[in-house]
Structure 1
Amino acid sequence: MFENLTKTDLYAILTGVFTACMIVSNIIAGKTFDFFSFVLPCGVVIFPIVYVVNDVLAEIYGYEKARRVIILGFFMNLIAVICYNITIWLPAPVFFENSEAFSVVLGSTFRLLIAGFAAYLVGSLVNARLMVYLKKWDEEKLFVRCILSTLFGEGMDALIFITIGFLGTMPTDALIVMIVAQALFKTAYEIIVYPLTKVVIVRVRELPD
């Protein structure tokens, strides 16, 4: 399947992985979980993968191509949300007993929808832009680029999503802790998987165009 793979081929694959992860993240982001007394949105389970792919896209293909994938991910997510809501709105047959559960899982309040879309766009673009900017500043420090771009990108994502999505529903101090914890959790995740990110980037660089 991956024989004679080119950078162009891989760009299409990474685009598919990125958009799929974004759609999954949108579905699971409405639930929170307790992580050693810290409350985090369940979107953190898959969202760090998005930033690893984002790093590879920005590092190998440049900001403009990374931005195209980010914008495509946004519109595919929007299409998914529209389809969910149309499906929820359509009347179910009498024998279908899971309409309420279906609506709870795939439905989303307008507030969380706006929070997710705004956080995704800003966070992903900040991550990609900073990755490219730091590469121009010092091309050798890949680790610094990956971690700093994720820290700032995830910081903006957490700040926007949690503030818009949960402000007024919990104490302010809990909100701040949630923002910091989410950003640090995702950054720590990228530090752990950095060896994999580096291997992928090095291998992709060796591929023919």
Structure 2
Amino acid sequence: MFEDLTKTELYAILTGIFTACLIVSNITAGKTFDFFSFTLPCAVIIFPVIYIVNDVLAEVYSYNKARKVILLGFFMNLVAVICYNITIWLPAPVFFENSQAFSIVLSSTLRLLIASFAAYLVGSLVNAKVMVYLKKWDEKKLFFRCVVSTLFGEGLDALIFITIGFLGTMPLEALIVMIVVQAIFKTGYEIIIYPVTRLVITKVKKLPEI
């Protein structure tokens, strides 16, 4: 899969994946679903992908390069939300019957953008920072680094995102449960998908630099 790529080429691909996932998550986060009697935002289905890419970037390319991808992703997310709101503002022709539905789905993204920007900015950077710090401490324990960095990153991400994005829209008890369950759910997801993360990191490390 990666044999014909260099690390530089793959870095560009991972940047695209990370950015696309952020934009998708900002839309899907507007809906929640029931998970064994717990409520979670639908964006959890793609959040773990972002942290897996984050782990690969931090482990292989360094914290500084991971930070650049994170900031670029948020900038493109901002561009997307601006486009959504301009599109909603533009008058629709009389034959376009889905204007209200379009607005309902996308008009809430401004608040969620602020929530996701703050959450990802803190969560992703902390995830990458912890990953790099633990690597300096012990380079051999990749599983430990991935899980601990995700636990820290996801914990802060869930706390910030759900508080900003959903405070006032549900009971406080449900909000707290949602934060805890989301952090556990996404960390558990990374544990399950760890073999894939390890395989990707191992293959990427073997690629030529240029």
Separation in structure 2 between the aligned mates of residue 170 and residue 207 of structure 1, nearest angstrom: 48
Distance in 1 of aligned mates of 2:4 and 2:164: 46
What's the CA shift for 1:6?
0.3
Q: Please, what is the CA RMSD of the aligned residues?
A: 1.2
Structure 1 residue 153 and structure 2 residue 165: aligned?
no
CA distance in 1, matches of 2:21, 2:122: 17
* Residue in structure 1 matched with residue 172 of structure 2 by the alignment: 172
Q: How far apart, in 2, do the equivalents of 1:130 and 1:173 lie?
A: 30
TM-score normalised to structure 2 length: 0.96
> CA shift at 1:129, angstroms?
0.7
| Consecutive unaligned residues in structure 2, runs of 5 or more | none
Aligned match of 2:58: 58
* 1:2 to partner: Cα distance: 5.3
1:112 Cα deviation from its structure 2 partner:
2.8
Q: Aligned with 1:34: secondary structure?
A: strand
Aligned to 2:41: 41
Instruction: Please report how far the alpha carbon of residue 110 of structure 1 lies from its aligned counterpart in structure 2 after TM superposition.
Output: 4.3
Q: Does 1:17 align with 2:17?
A: yes
Task: Name the amino acid aligned to 1:71.
Answer: L
Report the equivalent of 1:107.
Answer: 107
Residue of structure 2 in register with 1:144 after alignment: 144
- What amino acid does structure 2 have at the position aligned with 1:82? I
Residue by residue over 1:142-175, the C-alpha shift from the partner in whole angstroms, topping out at 9 and shown as x without a partner, is 0000001111101001000111122232222211
- What amino acid is the match of 1:172? L
Q: Which letter does structure 1 place at the counterpart of 2:176?
A: I
CA deviations on 1:49-80 (whole Å, 9 max, x unpaired) are: 00000000000000000000000001000000
> Cα deviation per residue 1:64-116 (whole Å; 9 max; x = unaligned)?
00000000001000000000000110111111110011111122264333212
Q: What is the CA–CA distance in structure 2 between the aligned matches of 1:68 and 1:38, rounded to whole Å?
A: 35
Q: Distance in 2 between matches of 1:151 and 1:2?
A: 28
Matched position secondary structure for 2:51: helix
Structure 1: unaligned runs, 5 residues or longer? none
Question: 1-side partners of 2:144 and 2:3: how far apart?
Answer: 32
Q: Say how many residue pairs are matched.
A: 209
- The offset of 1:23, in angstroms, is 0.3
Partner secondary structure for residue 39 of structure 1: strand
